[in-house]
Structure 1
């Protein structure tokens, strides 16, 4: 399974949607994911990929981890995964 499809699956689960309803252009707000859902998504992503996401839930806009869209999250996770090897 690709990083993109895993991230989409995780986000879809948080939004209680089908993965097919989640596009790379979707924002978390579009999908109805609130701040708690975002934190749970980050934890799930960290666990799924065995990475540490540089994200501060208290200051999400100041984070190096781009959460502006699903595509941005996929790109950020991809970078973190590649940075590990």
Structure 2
């Protein structure tokens, strides 16, 4: 699933206006300077890129099933949704 990780990192890097090499798996979106609007735009871009629906509550991210605590958590969540879709 390295392809998923690379695509997610690419989307996050684009939102943060960074090079992909500047985004590491242990960083948070806050570390990368992504605000709530950037988060929502990232979610939409990820949904479009992978043709998935992300169960995300933009008004209350803490109660969402979609873990946004780090880049790695987002990658794992997207990998899970992609696997479910293709199961």
TM-score by length of 2: 0.96
Map 1:1-80 to 2 at 5 A.
Answer: 2-80=3-81
Residues in 1 aligned to 2:30 and 2:46: alpha-carbon distance in whole angstroms: 18
Residues in 1 aligned to 2:11 and 2:62: alpha-carbon distance in whole angstroms: 21
Residues in 2 aligned to 1:79 and 1:23: alpha-carbon distance in whole angstroms: 20
Shift of 1:54: 0.3
Aligned residues, how many?
85
Residues in 2 aligned to 1:43 and 1:34: alpha-carbon distance in whole angstroms: 14
**Deviations along 1:45-65, whole A, 9 cap, x unmatched?**
000000000000001000000
After TM superposition, the runs of 4+ consecutive aligned structure 1 residues lying more than 3 A away are none
Query: Which runs of 5 or more residues in structure 2 are unaligned?
Result: none
